[in-house]
Amino acid sequence: MSEYNFQVNLKGMIDLLSNHLYSNPGVFIRELLQNGADAVTARKRLGHNLSGKITVELFPSSHTLAVQDNGIGLTEREIIQFLAQIGHTSKREDPDSADEYIGQFGVGLLACFVVSEEIVLITRSAMEGDSIEWRGRPDGTYTIRKLDREVSIGTTVYLTLKQDYEEYGEWYRVYELLEHYGAYLPAAIWLVEDGYECKVNHDKAPWSMTREEALAYAKDELNLDCLDVIELRSTVGEVEGVAYILPYPVSLQAERRHKMYVKQMLLSDKMDSILPSWAFFATSVINANGLRPTASREAFYENDIYYAVQNEMGEVIKQHFRQLAEQNPELLRRIIRIHYSSLKTLAEEDEDSYELFIPYLAFETSEGTLEAEELAVKTKHILLTSTLDEFRQISRVAKAQDLLVVNGGYVHDYQLIRRLPDVYPELEVTIVDPLEFFQRFQELDREDTEQMSPVLEMADALLLPYQCKSAVRWFEPADIAVLYTTSEDVGFLRMAESGRDELNELFDEAASIITNEMHELPFARLCFNYNNPIVRKMAECKDLQIQDLTIKSLYTQSLLLGSYPMQSGELQMMNESFMTLLNLGLANTGGGVS
């Protein structure tokens, strides 16, 4: 059996880096900054007292740039060991110090081949005195020579940019990239061209700012006039940062864009999951020293530590809201008004958050929009509908009876209201059965019941084909002649019947199966209001045709007012009853047609 070594196609590796691993060619700036920052860290570990410095000098006439650091430098042995072996890096040689470095993979320098045909590296190690030049090319060949002159301790990388990549040697483009990736690196970054030099680093990172400074940063750098800022700290993952409460509502499907740094080097400005999913009302700027970046250094490995950090960030945000409830409830109310949907989601999923937010959450009721705290003060008994249609059916009538109905048809509202007695034990919540709602109204006396009995019998016969039964009660307001209430089951049967001619065979068969499995077919309710003058006149009327037309007109009117889809028979009923009543009315005045 023979043994062979793998051969690496360097051009293939470069294509992999440029087209798959890295998001854009400009990441070579990040890799060079990272190498320089790590070299400074390594030199400081030797006990050298120095201020870290990375200088980027531009030579526009030759489309060349030089990146110099005053870090630890490389010996000839290290050059051969690390620069000539892809994936081999000195930063993993010492396990005790590996976590102090930004880079860990040994492929970063290859990113320079994306923009340059040659990498020239001049270095002098803090460990030895020789000044060395290394030249590497994308075909995998390289040369090493000792220089006659002595250079400063550290490393300088020279790149001459390829055609179509000249923009990466222009002042504003390079400054933009240096600031983008390295604005908060502890080593000072200087950009130099033709004797003019400019410091790129910011004096203070957002996670080191006061509250006022952090809000000003959001306004100036992120173009956000944020509602509030939350200091983020996590011992797990060695995380520090700030979370900004956005000044506008954000949907659950909105793209999250958190700015994430690793050891103060930008990892990504489009991180989508460092905060819990429910916290989509916030954006953040975070630095992590203890999370592991992927090989592209544009994301983190989502391991147990990562999820522990995510959970701890969530707890910090919740604690901040608890403090607001005690110290600044008006600000909390403002945040809740703007981010109502997301905070409802959090309240439903988390018991502690429910107790915190529920007093401030507002709900649609028959008395208008009320916060839960107001509900608990206003009444001891709440009627809760499960759908918007149910609420619309009964809310006006319920209000006239001094019954407080809450609309549970919106996302989360049903479950949130059901749990109100957990926070307000004196409060009772009853789920409304719209088909039985009429039973809450005043029953008629015996005489009035007997007078309405023929009308109800006629109504039941007329409405049987439409899955509806009649009833009569006395209720307010008097201007409502009938109250039509239904359920989801009745709605399904109506939909299936009204669209039977248009339904495909498969859906029609499914509808028939469901109907057959029902032990008892559900019926909608048409409750006549004996407090209404027209209903009483109808009951007193001896003309059966007029009673028939009145029942049909009131029934179809109730469907229209409730925005219910009408079957073809109901549409025909509405048109015929309307035209016949018009004709009768005109005939009685001498102007009708026979």
In angstroms, the CA 389 to CA 391 distance is 5
For 438-588, CATH gives 1.20.120.790
How confident is the model over 338-353, as pLDDT tens digits? 998 888 888 888 888 8
DSSP symbol at 355: H
CA distances from 145 to 75, 122, 133 (A): 12, 10, 5
Please report how the helices 446-463 and 544-561 are oriented relative to each other, as an axis angle in degrees rounded to 10: 70
Give the list of residues 6+ apart from residue 190 with CB closer than 8 angstroms, or none: 53, 54, 55, 56, 197, 198, 199, 200
Higher pLDDT, 34 or 129: 34
Return the pLDDT at 6: 47
CA distances from 6 to 3, 9, 361 (A): 10, 10, 63
Mean pLDDT of 70-89: 76
Closest CA to 336 of 227, 229, 412, 218: 227
Q: Which residues are annotated as a binding site?
A: 31, 35, 69, 155
Name the 3-class secondary structure at 399.
helix
Return the residue matching tokens 């032990």: 519
The answer to whether 228 touches 335, Cβ cutoff 8 Å, is yes
**CA neighbor of 243 nearest in space, from 287, 201, 202:** 287
Per-residue confidence (pLDDT) for residue 584, from 0 to 100: 84
Domain boundaries, the chain: 10-199, 206-327, 333-434, 438-588
DSSP string, 232-254: EEETTTTEEEEEEEPSS---TTS
- Residues that constitute the known binding site for ATP: 31, 35, 69, 155
Question: Which fold is adopted by the domain 10-199?
Answer: Heat Shock Protein 90 (3.30.565)
- Report the 3 state secondary structure along 477-505: CCCCCEEEECCHHHHHHHHHHHCCCCCCH
- Strands (E) in 402-511, as ranges, are 405-407, 428-431, 468-473, 482-485
Q: Could you read off the pLDDT of 439-483 as tens digits, one per residue?
A: 888 999 999 999 999 999 999 999 999 989 999 999 999 999 999
Q: What's the mean pLDDT in 166-170?
A: 94
Confidence of residue 511 (pLDDT cuts 50, 70, 90): very low
Edge-to-edge strand order for the sheet containing 265-271? 228-234, 239-245, 282-288, 258-262, 265-271
Same fold for the pair 10-199 and 333-434: no
Distance between CA atoms of 26 and 115, rounded to whole angstroms? 9
Q: Which long-range contacts (CB under 8 A, 24 or more apart) does 450-455 make?
A: 451/539, 451/540, 452/528, 452/530, 452/539, 454/547, 455/528, 455/538, 455/539, 455/547, 455/551
Q: What pLDDT digit, counting tens, does each position of 271-293 carry?
A: 888 898 888 899 999 999 998 88
Q: Tell how far CA 102 is from the center of its chain.
A: 30
The CATH number given to 206-327 is 3.30.230.80
The amino acid that residue 2 corresponds to is S
Confidence of residue 105 (pLDDT cuts 50, 70, 90): very low
User: pLDDT confidence of 84, banded at 50, 70, 90?
Assistant: low
What pLDDT is stored for residue 138 in this prediction?
A: 82
The predicted model gives 492-500 an average pLDDT of 53
Identify the helix (H) or strand (E) that includes residue 312: helix 304-327
360: phi then psi, degrees, rounded to nearest 5: -100, -10
One-letter identity of residue 229: V
Q: What is the pLDDT of residue 23?
A: 58
Backbone phi and psi for residue 290, each to the nearest 5 degrees, phi listed first:
-115, 10
Question: Taking Cα atoms as reference points, which of 22, 24, 21, 53 lies closest to residue 39?
Answer: 53
Owner of token pair 């798959």? 20
What lies within 8 Å, CB to CB, of 271 at 6+ separation is 256, 257, 258, 259, 260, 299, 300
Query: For position 298, what pLDDT does the model report?
Result: 76
| Tokens 């047609």 -> residue | 593
Q: Does domain 333-434 have CATH number 3.10.180.10?
A: no
**589-594: average pLDDT:** 57
130-148 residue pLDDT tens: 899 999 888 878 899 999 9
Q: What is the mean pLDDT of residues 288-304?
A: 84
Asked if residues 528 and 470 have their Cβ atoms less than 8 Å apart, the reply is yes
Query: Are 260 and 311 a contacting pair, CB within 8 Å?
Result: no
